[in-house]
Amino acid sequence: MGVAMFYHLTRSSPAETLAALLPRAVSQGWRVMIRSPDRAALARLDTALWTDPPDSFLPHGMEGGPHDADQPVLLGQGAAVNGAKGLFLLDGAEVSVAEVQPMERVWLLFDGGDGAAVQAARVKWKTLTAAGIAAQYWSEESGRWQKKADSVEKG
């Protein structure tokens, strides 16, 4: 069972945060799913993964193609049909405890300026940790990412 990592975005966009985290996940040999309920946001991210930065490339595909199961990085709204070991949740995308359990990592990126997104992240934290999923809370309020809480650290 992996770790659910909550990223409280206050300075960086989801795309900037993904640009930092996604290559690390892929370098671990993990297939990754990026899930969002916002199809337009996924399309923008698809374009960014092809072009930003110009000297990098992460092989990926949009959900609904003939090779979804083969994609190292799959962008979509549904299940991780590519055998993902990492799952990025954007724009309030949902996840179940059963889906988190076999993952190596689940990253929940949420907008710190959106009260509803913050509240939804709190609910997800409580749900996942109550089910025994290890969780970490990361904040960039100081200008760099810092781990602020860890569900398995006591005292």
- Report d(CA 33, CA 108) in Å as an integer: 12
Asked whether the whole model's pTM tops 0.85, one would answer yes
| Long-range contacts from 47-50, C-beta under 8 angstroms, 24+ separation | 48/15, 48/19, 49/73, 49/75
Residues 50-104 pLDDT 10s: 776 656 677 888 999 899 999 999 999 999 999 999 999 999 999 999 999 999 9
**Structural domains in the chain plus CATH codes:** 3-150 (3.40.50.10110)
Residues 16-57 pLDDT 10s: 898 889 989 999 999 999 999 999 999 988 888 777 665 667
Beta pairing, strands 61-62 & 73-76: parallel
Amino acid at 34: I
